[in-house]
């Protein structure tokens, strides 16, 4: 064998050996990285999961073209939230019967192994209270029948024993930051926080007294002098208060725009409110309101 051929063979063999080693090391490194990432996730989950509180999220819903899109969004928000807190979703349809559209969506919670449970109810709004097409949104009370059905279900089925339980009215047309659900776990009686994009303002919020840290007044686009100028998305209540005040319901007799204020008056006073979201400085929920789509044609065979 010629000397140059021998050199060539030796160099090639060493080169292949080095390549093989590099490959071995890099795949070992990759496995370690994956292991570290997985460990981190488990760590986060076990550290952040606040087992001792259950949040009952009450979502009134009614048929319109964006219904499914809105509910999928809420469902997936709750899936994320359920990594941190114990969630029970109470969905109340404004309909004579439970619809396939909502039933099918809720079945996904079982089939996809989501870590929260749901309750499916229906309660139809009497025809005289329904919004007409051109009526402004605030003209009639909305969600009265459905929220009351959820309150009745809670009073019939939930006991005040055991772990802390909180009720949150979670409309299907808002956008929720998962951080809100951690705030909800901190509530002792009634907790409040800012709500974004509402009442003609970028936010509505309780205003705190810098000396006492308690709610002194409200920044609100409409009647800030209401006893509780707080949006439906801006408060959470301990179930114990719902159970110990069985007369507290929403009502068509409440003054227009006073639903939240008159409902909260059953349970608490302004100076007892618990300001959350870093002393009401953070926004974790927005009234985004999906635009009404201009649907001119129907493609048959789809549940949209
Ligand atoms: C909840 O209470 C109602 C009575 O209002 C009852 O019919 C129903 O079976 C209860 N549901 C559960 C899950 O306990
Ligand atoms: C909220 O304000 C109080 C003083 O009123 C303060 O003690 C507390 O640390 C603040 N909390 C947060 C989360 O900023």
Give pLDDT, residue 6: 73
Give pLDDT, residue 33: 59
Give pLDDT, residue 138: 45
Is residue 155 assigned to a domain? yes
Span from the CA of 210 to the centroid of ligand 2 (angstroms): 10
Give pLDDT, residue 20: 77
| Reduced DSSP (H G I as helix, E B as strand, rest coil) percent helix, strand, coil of the chain, to 5 | 40, 20, 40
Nearest CA to ligand 1 atom 10: 157
Is residue 277 assigned to a domain? no
Residue 110 assigned as binding residue: no
Span from the CA of 158 to the centroid of ligand 1 (angstroms): 9
Give me the CATH number covering residue 100: 3.90.550.10
User: By residue range, what is the domain housing residue 58?
Assistant: 49-190+233-269
Tokens of 208: 């705190």
Nearest CA to ligand 1 atom 9: 157
Q: What is the mean pLDDT of the chain?
A: 89
Is residue 91 assigned to a domain? yes
Give pLDDT, residue 243: 98
The ligand with the least distance to the CA atom of 159 is 1
Is residue 196 assigned to a domain? no
CB atoms within 10 A of CB 129: 12
Give pLDDT, residue 114: 86
Span from the CA of 278 to the centroid of ligand 2 (angstroms): 7
Q: What is the per-residue pLDDT across 126-158, written as a single tens digit (0 to 9) for each?
A: 886 555 655 554 456 789 999 999 999 999 999
Tokens of 266: 């059953």
Residue 155 assigned as binding residue: no
What is the set of active-site residues? Answer: 260
Give pLDDT, residue 277: 98
C-alpha distance from residue 83 to each of 41, 66, 98, 108, 220 (Å): 11, 27, 28, 17, 33
Give pLDDT, residue 206: 98
Give pLDDT, residue 280: 98
Cβ(156) – ligand 1 distance below 6 Å: yes
pLDDT in tens, the chain (304 residues): 567 777 776 777 777 777 677 667 666 656 655 555 555 555 555 556 676 899 999 999 999 999 999 999 999 999 999 999 999 999 999 999 999 999 999 999 999 988 899 999 999 998 865 556 555 544 567 899 999 999 999 999 999 999 999 999 999 999 999 999 999 999 999 999 999 999 899 999 999 999 999 999 999 998 999 999 999 999 999 999 999 999 999 998 887 788 999 999 999 999 999 999 999 999 999 999 899 999 999 999 999 9
Alpha carbon distance 202, 204 (integer Å)? 7
Instruction: Answer whether 33's CB lies under 8 Å from 145's CB.
Output: no
Is residue 292 assigned to a domain? no
Closest residue by Cα to residue 70 from 79, 57, 61: 61
Total domains in the chain come to 1
**CA of 119, closest atom in ligand 1:** 13
Query: DSSP assignment of 247-288, as one string?
Result: T----TTSPTT-HHHHHHTTT--GGG-EE-HHHHT---EE--
Cβ(279) – ligand 2 distance below 6 Å: yes
Is residue 159 assigned to a domain? yes
| pTM exceeds 0.85, yes or no | no
Give pLDDT, residue 41: 56
Is residue 298 assigned to a domain? no
Cβ(213) – ligand 2 distance below 6 Å: yes
Nearest CA to ligand 1 atom 13: 157
Residue 287 assigned as binding residue: yes
Is residue 211 assigned to a domain? no
């Amino acid at each position: 064998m010629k000397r140059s051929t021998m050199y060539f063979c030796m160099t090639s063999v060493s080169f292949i050996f080095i390549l093989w080693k590099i490959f071995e090391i890099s795949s070992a490194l990759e496995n370690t990285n994956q292991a570290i990432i997985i460990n981190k996730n488990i760590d986060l989950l076990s550290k952040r999961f606040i087992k001792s509180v259950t949040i009952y999220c009450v979502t009134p819903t009614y048929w319109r073209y964006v219904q499914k899109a809105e509910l999928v969004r809420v469902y997936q928000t709750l899936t994320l939230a359920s990594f941190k807190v114990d969630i029970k979703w109470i969905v109340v349809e404004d309909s004579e019967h439970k619809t396939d559209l909502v039933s099918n969506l809720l079945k996904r919670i079982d089939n996809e192994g989501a870590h929260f449970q749901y309750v499916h109810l229906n309660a139809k709004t009497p025809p005289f209270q329904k919004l007409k097409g051109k009526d402004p949104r605030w003209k009639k009370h909305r969600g009265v029948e459905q929220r009351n059905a959820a309150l009745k279900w809670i009073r019939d089925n939930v006991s005040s024993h055991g772990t802390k339980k909180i009720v949150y009215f979670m409309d299907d047309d808002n956008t929720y930051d998962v951080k809100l659900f951690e705030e909800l776990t901190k509530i002792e009686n009634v907790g409040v926080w800012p709500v974004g994009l509402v009442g003609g303002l970028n936010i509505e919020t309780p205003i705190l007294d810098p000396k006492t840290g308690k709610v002194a007044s409200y920044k609100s686009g409409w009647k800030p002098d209401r006893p509780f100028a707080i949006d439906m998305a801006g408060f959470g209540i301990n179930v114990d208060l719902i159970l110990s005040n069985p007369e507290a319901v929403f009502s068509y007799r409440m003054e227009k725009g006073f639903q939240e204020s008159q409902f909260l008056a059953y349970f608490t006073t302004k100076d007892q409110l618990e300001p959350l979201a870093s002393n009401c400085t953070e926004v974790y929920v927005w009234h985004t309101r999906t635009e009404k789509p201009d649907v001119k044609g129907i493609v048959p065979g789809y549940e949209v």
